[in-house]
Amino acid sequence: MSSGKILPRRQAVPVLYTRGTHYEVGFDMGRTFGSMIKNFLILSKPLNETYLPLYQSPKGRQIYNETLGSVKDSFPQYIRELEGVADGAEVEFHKLFLLHLDEILPQALKHQPRSKNQPTGCSTIIVNHKNCRLLGHTEDALTETLNHYYFVDAHIISDKPQGKYNVKEEHFMSLCYAGHLPGYTMNQNHHGLVFSINTISAELLRSGKTPRHFITRALLATSNVDDAFRVLKDAGVGAADACSINFTFLADPRQMCYNVEMAPSPERKNESHLSIKEIPLGEHNYHVNQFDRIRQDQANDLMIDSSVSRMTTFGCYKPPASEQDVRHMLGDVSGGTYCVWREDGSPDEAVKTIAVGIFDLSARTMSLYSDNPSETQPHCRLPLLFK
């Protein structure tokens, strides 16, 4: 039975290994984590206070339907995957799709206020040195997401090519929020892709385009840098909302890391607006939840204040050169209201850091923490899928 209770931080990282079609993998996620998904749907304030009431209005339903239609045209396999999650968990599909629409619905309907229940953070540090190549990421989310996540290691084999990029096989590992598709937080695949996402709350959102969550889900299937840029560009449609993608491919002979800021096209072009930053060997990079290079208005003042605070904190450190440095920086609690590591004695704190992942690109491992990485050892250190 789903209680709708927020529990204290659990020292647990559930992992599901699953293989099958898109629908079967989705069904396994839903069936395995059904109680967690049901509980999350009870607890989610944005869903219950904003998205569902708007979905009940004729205009809201129209925006929902046109965006669902657009995603079905590009990525029918990921809609089947999400239908599998809904069926496995025995919950309504439209509630899960609304979570993936995120703020597109309220923004399209000019519903105010938008930012009351939005998450305000996740931080990524890339160290790209010859003897130390790391991607470290804190996953910050609304308090109701605490303990409502799991890792999925999925091997998907289709009998015929799927979606607009004709993908037949996928093998990846991803941290998923309960009821959400893989691909939006910290991720890796068997082609050696490692990536993390920083949500950005753009003022300009576009309904009927591809929600960022489906673009990053498609990113999980990519096998090289050009492939990744093609997916992010999403030619013919384009991103509906904004985020930043930090990524590298282990097999890339240039050993280049990238930060890409992705936003809806301001000129209404049918493609995403991208700003690509290369992080070559010898360099490091920080990215949080704001545009550093794209000049577009942002909607969430709390997210911007938090981003500025975390970047200021990182600026107080010498450039990171070891895993220990990255663990200390991602566990920093010195920033006042908006620390890098978000933990508060009170369960009412709106945002908490729910997990940390540190990918060691040289050792080809992924270390997972559910508590402060500067004070604790990882729960597990898993080998990357790349062979």
The conformation of residue 6, written as its DSSP 8-state character, comes to: P
Is residue 10 a part of any domain in this protein? no
Task: Name the residue with tokens 């450190």.
Answer: 317
Residues 267, 126 within the same domain:
yes
What distances in angstroms separate CA 293 from CA 120, 201, 386, one per listed residue?
19, 14, 31
Question: In whole angstroms, what is the distance from residue 140 CA to residue 150 CA?
Answer: 14
Residues 178, 34 within the same domain:
no
Q: What is the pLDDT of residues 176-186, one digit of tens each?
A: 989 999 999 99
From the list 183, 190, 182, 254, the residue with the least C-alpha distance to 225 is 254
Question: In whole angstroms, what is the distance from residue 316 CA to residue 322 CA?
Answer: 16
For the four alpha carbons of 330, 148, 77 and 208, in that order, the dihedral sign comes to negative
What pLDDT shows up at residue 303? 86
Question: In whole angstroms, what is the distance from residue 20 CA to residue 169 CA?
Answer: 10
Q: Are 43 and 8 in contact (CB under 8 A)?
A: no
Amino acid code (one letter) for 178? A
From the list 379, 357, 373, 377, the residue with the least C-alpha distance to 173 is 357
Domain C-terminal end among 79, 109, 139:
109
What pLDDT shows up at residue 335? 78
CATH of the domain at 243: 3.60.60.10
278 vs 380 pLDDT, higher one: 278
Residues 96, 130 within the same domain:
no
- β-bridge partners, 286: 125
End-to-end Cα separation, the chain, in angstroms: 41
| Residue 115 pLDDT class (50, 70, 90 cuts) | very low
Residues 143, 38 within the same domain:
no
Q: Is 371 helix (H, G, I), strand (E, B) or coil?
A: coil
Residues 69, 136 within the same domain:
no
Q: Are 358 and 326 in contact (CB under 8 A)?
A: yes
- β-bridge partners, 277: 259
What pLDDT shows up at residue 347? 45
Residues 295, 347 within the same domain:
yes
What pLDDT shows up at residue 129? 97
Q: Average the pLDDT over 321-327 and give the result.
A: 97
Residues 183, 292 within the same domain:
yes
Is residue 365 a part of any domain in this protein? yes
Q: What is the pLDDT of residues 190-230, one digit of tens each?
A: 999 999 999 999 999 999 999 999 999 999 999 999 999 99
Residue 247 has pLDDT above 60, yes or no: yes
Residues whose CB is less than 8 angstroms from the CB of residue 166 and which lie 6 or more positions away in sequence, other chains included: none
What is the pLDDT of the chain when averaged over all its residues? 91
Residues 205, 266 within the same domain:
yes
Is residue 344 a part of any domain in this protein? yes
- Length of the chain measured in residues: 387
Question: In whole angstroms, what is the distance from residue 64 CA to residue 85 CA?
Answer: 19
Is residue 360 a part of any domain in this protein? yes
Is residue 219 a part of any domain in this protein? yes
Q: What is the pLDDT of residues 39-82, one digit of tens each?
A: 999 989 899 999 999 999 999 999 999 999 999 999 999 999 99
Axis crossing angle, helix 76-89 with helix 22-32, rounded to the nearest 10: 30
pTM of the complete model: 0.94
Is residue 323 a part of any domain in this protein? yes
The conformation of residue 145, written as its DSSP 8-state character, comes to: G
User: What residue numbers bound the domain in which 76 lies?
Assistant: 15-109
Is residue 114 a part of any domain in this protein? no
Of the listed ranges 105-114, 254-263, 268-277, the one predicted with least confidence: 105-114
| Residue 146 pLDDT class (50, 70, 90 cuts) | low
Residue 149 has pLDDT above 70, yes or no: yes
What pLDDT shows up at residue 7? 57
Percentage of residues in the chain having pLDDT higher than 90: 79
Question: In whole angstroms, what is the distance from residue 87 CA to residue 65 CA?
Answer: 20
Look at strands 257-263 and 15-20 and give their pairing: unpaired
Is residue 45 a part of any domain in this protein? yes
Domain C-terminal end among 75, 109, 143:
109
Percentage of residues in the chain having pLDDT higher than 70: 91
Split into its structural domains, the chain has a count of 2
349 vs 186 pLDDT, higher one: 186
Residue 11 has pLDDT above 90, yes or no: no
Residues 54, 146 within the same domain:
no
Residues 210, 76 within the same domain:
no
Axis crossing angle, helix 76-89 with helix 34-43, rounded to the nearest 10: 90
Question: In whole angstroms, what is the distance from residue 72 CA to residue 78 CA?
Answer: 8
Residues 283, 378 within the same domain:
yes
Residues 59, 134 within the same domain:
no
| 362: its two tokens | 């040289």
